[in-house]
Structure 1
């Protein structure tokens, strides 16, 4: 059975790595449910919510590192902005780990499902929201491969505050935080989608390392399951960068909406029936 579990985790890691890398989400929305379900099927009671979140963050770091290296080579990741966001996400990640220890499994499943449901709603309306450009301290320009020029920017203190909230969510639910970071970049700061995704992955890598260090100290990592997920996540991160250059953004967003809604319903259903 261990070989079957390793095979399933390899496929999940590959899929989550591809999707997470394309959209800048990290992949934790797939890792956490897989760990809670498959991990406990193989060894009942072996994966607590805290263990799932901690193990997920380790694998997210692998995905984020893999894709960030490729995005930096393509000059798509805004490194300076990523470092600024990290100033907020790092302490937020530590706070999220401690909040995570207070949640029983039923509350964790319910909150995780409601969180995903709220993100589904945000993704449904984000295209209708007008981008903000009030009091930008920093302004940047980017010209894509087709010659289209984008202007984006942000207020430094607002960026740090948003990143702090993202860091909390990242460690609390083990989702990497990109599901909040990317929409925030696009809606609040007018980041073009491909720059938002690439920069988000770099921020996710930094914050995942901080959150992972704290989880390791609390013994919230299942190293066997992390080792099973990591190879697929690394390869998926690389493949996701390649796919991002060819796939239409609208198609990716549609798939993500369906997946997020499906998992939200599943997690809420599990919490209600337990």
Structure 2
């Protein structure tokens, strides 16, 4: 049982470092497949594993000057409020609603990444309007994090690039830093509700931390446009796979 968990963490951690996400987009379905966790427990356990992964990833991008601390702080401010709300929704919403919300989010982000125009050069100007927009983004990111067990990077990274003008590397590093308080704020109520499978979460988290360094290294090597399109293809694959698995489960019931 430990080997599948290590593989789950390694894959999630590599993707976290490479794409600036928490890794939950792949860890949640793998925990459901290999650890036989339901959607709620898989999401909550994944979010626990994202805490150390995002810390290490943010530190690695940070020492390479690819983190905007002001942007991350404003996003985190909104996310800290949104994550407990998402965790509450995780406990009360029907499983089917949570699952199809996950699929829809992946499809939307995949389309945005695959067909987005050329990225800007990383210039961002702080203003009152942008500050409130970043807090709003954090609120959405937090709700998705608490409800779906993802770090929220699948939302933040493309928005950072498309709407706020951050370069791909800066968007990834900033996303990972904003994810740290987000994942913690979502995990605390999940632990209180007994949704986190602690042993599995710690094993997955340890493997994810180790693998994240390789993902970060690759992110600095590949061209920005190529890495963005690969991210879009990954999300598309995960969305289609999750939709297929959900439809099969509905037919059995």
- State whether TM-score is above 0.5: yes
1:271 to partner: Cα distance = 2.1
Partner of 1:15: 11
Unaligned runs of 5+ in 1: 41-46, 132-148
1:83 to partner: Cα distance = 1.2
Q: Which of 172, 177, 186 in structure 2 is aligned with 1:211?
A: 186
Q: Which of 79, 83, 88 in structure 2 is aligned with 1:89?
A: 79
Query: Aligned partners of 1:38, 1:106: CA distance in 2, in Å?
Result: 20
1:1-274 pair list within 5 angstroms: 2=1, 6-40=2-36, 47-127=37-117, 150-154=122-126, 155-273=130-248, 274=250
1:204 to partner: Cα distance = 0.7
- Could you say what secondary structure the match of 2:93 adopts? coil
Are the counterparts in 2 of residues 153 and 191 from structure 1 also a CA contact under 8 Å?
A: no
Deviation string 1:118-158 (CA, Å, 9 cap, x unpaired) is 22112123226x97xxxxxxxxxxxxxxxxx7421341111
Structure with greater helix percent:
2
How many residues matched?
Answer: 246
Are the counterparts in 2 of residues 110 and 272 from structure 1 also a CA contact under 8 Å?
A: no
Query: Aligned partners of 2:180, 2:11: CA distance in 1, in Å?
Result: 18
CA RMSD of superposed structures (Å): 1.8
Are the counterparts in 2 of residues 114 and 268 from structure 1 also a CA contact under 8 Å?
A: no
1:210 to partner: Cα distance = 0.8
- Report the more deviating stretch, 224-233 or 196-205: 224-233
Structure with greater strand percent:
1
Query: Aligned partners of 1:151, 1:117: CA distance in 2, in Å?
Result: 28
Query: Aligned partners of 2:165, 2:95: CA distance in 1, in Å?
Result: 37
Are the counterparts in 1 of residues 219 and 227 from structure 2 also a CA contact under 8 Å?
A: no
